[in-house]
A and B are shown apart, each in its own frame.
Chain A
Amino acid sequence: MSEMSKIVRTISNIIFPFIMIFGLYVIAHGHLTPGGGFQGGAVVASGCVLLIVAYGSIWVFDRIGIGKLSVFESTGAVGFIGLAFLGLILAGIFFKNFLVGSNIIFGNIPQTLSTDSNFNTAGVLPLMNFAVGVKVIAGLFVIVLVMAFASCSKEWKK
């Protein structure tokens, strides 16, 4: 897939930051509003796929190495399973929400019912959302990138 016309590239340059911000917002507010790590990660990954469509997979493949994306995905997976094991170590139960009720971070439990403005709540859920979000971003993006690069590679066809 080679790069498209200048119109498409310009529009992609304008739209790309907004898609990034919206996806990161969905990840960061996963415990308050609809969405979460998977959904926001899919939004951000589709924004990155827009780059592949506009600039061509070879351009993206040269600038973003697969090794970096692999490191990102492994970081997300290790963070997720590490938080689960921290629950096992600190509270005795696998996947225990050990930050709820503590005063460290995200430990607040509102007296009345929780609303959209109570950001400092939910314990480990925002951290898990972030880990899964990083994992989904890197995973979906690397799948599309490798397949798009393989479809236009001369070396693969022979």
Chain B
Amino acid sequence: MSIRTIVAAVTFTILAMFFVFTALYLSFGVPKATQMDDYIILNTQKETGTNNGVTSVVFDFRGFDTLGEATILFAAVSGVIMIFRRLKK
């Protein structure tokens, strides 16, 4: 067994233990999962004036999610154009 394998195994074990213990000490279900839903349903139209609550959640309450989605699309387009870059005139 080479030294690289031993180092890789030790690193993997430490990382796996980190994830497992983090997951064990998380407290799921606190606060209750319905609290944020109720808040959004009750206050969407008062806070944003939007008729479509889904759009207000997607672009306002959870804008970071949409930002990630847009980043994924941008990366996909960049990848496709980079793969087929030889076709450019």
A interface, CB within 8 angstroms of B: 30-34, 36, 38, 66, 70, 73, 76-77, 80-81, 84, 94-95, 97, 100, 108-110, 113-116, 118, 121-125, 128-129, 132, 135-136, 138-139, 142-143, 146-147, 149-150, 153, 155-156
Contacts and interface: CB of A to CB of B under 8 A. Distances in A.
Given A132-B66, A139-B74, A142-B81, A115 B51 contact: yes
Interface residues of B, number: 30
Nearest to B73: A139
B77 A118 contact: no
B77 A31 contact: no
Given A31-B56, A155-B86, A156-B86, A143 B49 contact: no
B48 A118 contact: no
B78 to A, nearest CB: 9
A129 B59 contact: yes
B55 interface: yes
Contact of A121 (B51, B63, B69, B77): B51
A153 B64 CA distance: 39
Given A142-B81, A146-B81, A156-B87, A125 B51 contact: no
Contacts of A110: 45, 49
Given A100-B49, A149-B84, 9 more contacts: A31-B55, A31-B56, A66-B88, A97-B47, A110-B49, A121-B50, A123-B48, A125-B60, A139-B77
A91 B63 CA distance: 15
Nearest to A109: B49
Interface in B48-72: 48-52, 54-56, 58-60, 63-64, 66-67, 69-70
Contact of B48 (A100, A135, A138, A156): A100
B46 interface: yes
